[in-house]
Structure 1
């Protein structure tokens, strides 16, 4: 059965926001939790029509119009079809202005043993509380104004994508970073489909990427690698996962092929390499990048000793040069791992 828009227009859905005044406690509950349940607000026949309409859209029997249908990526190989694959549906405009108030309708579909339950929660809230944010508005935030998780949840995925460079430019709380990352994965229907031009703009969203996610990413571009090489205080598991991708993807290069630009892009990723890999870097190239590599943070002793081995090579600095204050300063933290006895301590 196809449920038409004409039929939908006759459903018993509240038309007047002012007919459903909310108490202060209800408004506070929404502010604290981001949702509000009004039980019995929509009658059973209307919900049945909604269910039919949802299935019609998911199965492709009707034109979805302005509605975007988002499939659940994890079910792509499950053999499921139609509505069984749908993660959520949403329209480009989810807020409707009505007499100075906004009605926000959220449809959440739960799947269990091929039975589908559609929960409709109609939130009638003050304009300030529920107005969805657009990228243009986010860009106008003052420098000291950070976006909140609740605000992100009202922002369309396409606006999050458009504003990614701005959203990730400063350190984010993990909840916000995780929400942005999951939105990107869903928007592109899988991490493997996220374009390089998006990956290179992640910045402080990067800490939200779990080690297992990197198996689905490709780090072949130096611009993408440069994003992941910055210091986001990633844990060892995350750095190791990134390093593994670099070994497999990065332009087919081995350590002995790295250039100055490669080393300055890799930066913190090098901390997840082993000493033998570090020592395969050409000493002359290390010398060019020494000032940058001398600022690496929380690398293992093994890795730093590898850099120290490079530093004393004649084509890098050599032992005599490393006895000068200026050179010791240039190699930065690597100086702490230079062979003792042969070099004098900097004054």
Structure 2
């Protein structure tokens, strides 16, 4: 005679919560004994109990509860093991104003929910704690309708607090750097008090300002990296007049912190030069800023170009100034590539070329 698989086999395994679920007297709940449960609930419970990711179920109009060992670790003695088989509203009354509408959204057939780094305070181990969660609520089907809610979640409180601490450090660093830049600017103003030094002072303070803007952008990115478009737009902000003199285009690209700083300084020097002698010194000049990936010598390269057009004719300077040396040196060093300054009749062109591997950032 063929052997018959036990009807409650879906409750097998599952560690502590599997044992508690098997031992629970479900006949005293509105669900009735496990052998009468619908197939969708059985399958979901089996998945939950045997998963090592924190998972939770609310089932039926009364939101009867199930959860696994991984979720049990996020609970205090106030709710474990009493939450098993209990009604959801009574169990989580203290946070129902937060989770109640989210559960209703799923139960009424409106779809799933997704919440990232959300504060949901709970009482555990005798005190109310601020706890941050990343979680989703998804529907469990029952005869073409929604029979329950599957919760997949993670307590991200430690990560949240680490981010808060990092932001605090960054804000303090930003404050100190700005103070340092202000002191340097004041010292320069005292040093270059002679009227003949006014031009040199303006150049110096302009470079400090460019450094400060780049620093602010990196602070917002936690000093790791920054989107190239943001770096360029921030560097160009002081030179925009609303006349559409700049055109910026290129694929989404992330650059490292040192590269963001050096590119900001280079753009400041290029824009200042364009105002004095180049495309921005006349009414019709324009500047095209582009970047692209291309194959050079059988290796993928990143190519960044600053191209001026419509300005006065240019020619190579008789003496290489500090600004030009700054552009070529900082870009070459921080991008580990080559920099070409071409004084073409149509306008200045600055071209940075480096293997793509030099700008690729480490995965998070």
TM-score (norm 2): 0.29
Instruction: Pick the structure with more helix per residue.
Output: 1
Q: Which has the higher strand share?
A: 2
TM-score (norm 1): 0.30
